[in-house]
Amino acid sequence: MTNTSWTRQHVLSLADFTVAEYDTVLQTAASFKEVLSRRTKKVPTLQGQVVTNLFFEPSTRTRSSFEIAAKRLSADTLNFTASSSSLTKGETILDTAKTYLALGTDLMVIRHREAGVPQAIATEMDRLGVKVGVLNAGDGQHEHPSQALLDLFTICTLLDRDRPRLELLSGKKIAIVGDILHSRVARSNIWSLTASGAEVHLAASPTLLPHLFADYIKNEIHKNPILNRQLFLHWQIEPALEKADFVMTLRLQKERMTQHLLPSLREYHQLFGIKRDRLQLCQPHVKILHPGPVNRGVEISSDLMDDPNFSLIQEQVTSGVAVRMALLYLMGSGKA
Ligand code: NCD
């Protein structure tokens, strides 16, 4: 297994990921995918290490995926759930993290509804001089690196099962459609997909891709010549779908909406939903991704979601385990 190019202690954002790092994650995940296809799906790599899931926000996939990934690597796992914790007695987040440090945690996987919490905990761990790796499992509207990496792995594996690598995406067209404003998944995917040389097209209504936000992205484009070449913004779905190789649709994050941003769910589906007749605009081999959880019949029609000819949604969940094993392995093996 190759991990010679890996020096990163924390994975908080993909903004500064290098092509070599993407390829290391993809190749390592491919090795673990092979492990997961064996009869004995466990390796002793992280034996004796403790992986702690600190989830301050609800999660099904990400949390279970990190847990099974850690177990497949033979790590011991601790699971923290905010609602049943001492947070309810007034303990601060940093004190909670330090408690888990004292319990012997080597790797912390953190999800929080506020952007920046994983970074704050990582900074505190560095200040304390402890070699604990912090993995951002979704912070507010900021980033969700492991989701974007599993999306990347799902796509690249489809293009070359044995040797998934970033360059396979060069020249492909990828549409990201839906609630971009609230999506940390979109923000991480913008970094990875543009780094691959794919053409990335964002499409949403002006309320979900507001001009202020578009200006911010354009500013990033200005600073980053790679983005400049690869990122396109649309306020209608059709130009984004036209000849697309992959379509990533995003959940409407109603829990983050503080004002009415949609006419009605039915009208939203009419305007921005991924449905069968719209796919005619795309390449015939188009595949659809969704990070889940899905609002069936809203961002994607129910029948398409379940159609294995188009939908990669279940595959994304399965791939997520191999990708998270790769991340935990790369971050944790330096300590072993
Ligand atoms: C995403 C998240 O939590 O950001 N889901 C996930 O991790 N699988 C997207 C979402 O909640 O819509």
Q: What is the pLDDT along the chain (336 residues), one digit of tens a residue?
A: 555 679 999 999 999 899 999 999 999 999 999 999 999 999 999 999 999 999 999 899 999 999 999 999 999 999 998 877 777 777 899 999 999 999 999 999 999 999 999 999 999 999 999 999 999 999 999 999 999 999 999 999 999 999 999 999 999 999 999 999 999 999 999 999 999 999 999 999 999 998 888 888 777 777 777 666 689 999 999 999 999 999 999 999 877 777 777 778 899 999 999 999 999 999 999 999 999 999 999 999 999 999 999 999 999 999 999 999 999 999 997 654
User: Which fold does the domain 19-143+317-332 belong to in CATH?
Assistant: Rossmann fold (3.40.50)
How high is the pLDDT of residue 261? Answer: 75
Ligand 1 centre distance from Cα of residue 336 (Å): 31
Phi, psi of 331 (to 5 degrees): -80, -30
Q: Are 306 and 329 in contact (CB under 8 A)?
A: no
Q: Considering Cα of 109, then 112, then 115, then 116, what sign does the dihedral take?
A: negative
Radius of gyration for the chain, computed over Cα atoms and rounded to the nearest angstrom: 19
How high is the pLDDT of residue 234? Answer: 95
3-state percent helix, strand, coil for the chain, nearest multiple of 5: 45, 15, 40
Report the alpha-carbon distance of residue 109 to residue 217 in Å, rounded: 28
How high is the pLDDT of residue 336? Answer: 45
Any residues with CB less than 8 A from the CB of 83 and at least 6 apart, and which? Answer: none
Report the alpha-carbon distance of residue 177 to residue 190 in Å, rounded: 12
Ligand 1: which residue has its CA nearest to atom 7? 62
Ligand 1 centre distance from Cα of residue 39 (Å): 30
Any residues with CB less than 8 A from the CB of 138 and at least 6 apart, and which? Answer: 57, 59, 62, 111, 112, 144, 147, 184
Please list every protein residue whose CB sits less than 6 Å from any atom of ligand 1: 61-62, 138, 144, 147, 184-185, 251, 253, 291-292
Q: Are 12 and 118 in contact (CB under 8 A)?
A: yes
Please give the number of the atom of ligand 1 that sits closest to the Cα of 57. 3
Among 60, 62, 110, which is best to mutate for testing ligand 1, by the most ligand atoms less than 8 A from CB?
62
How high is the pLDDT of residue 333? Answer: 79
Three-state secondary structure call for residue 143:
strand
Three-state secondary structure call for residue 296:
strand
- Count other Cβ atoms within 10 Å, centred on residue 258: 5
> What type of residue sits at position 168?
L
User: Which fold does the domain 145-316 belong to in CATH?
Assistant: Rossmann fold (3.40.50)
Give the torsion through C-alpha atoms of 284, 189, 232, 258, to 10 deg: 110
DSSP-H helix ranges across 37-144: 61-72, 93-102, 117-128
**Cα of 100 vs its chain's centroid, Å:** 24
Ligand 1 centre distance from Cα of residue 128 (Å): 31
How high is the pLDDT of residue 255? Answer: 77
Chain region(s) in the chain for CATH 3.40.50.1370: 19-143+317-332, 145-316
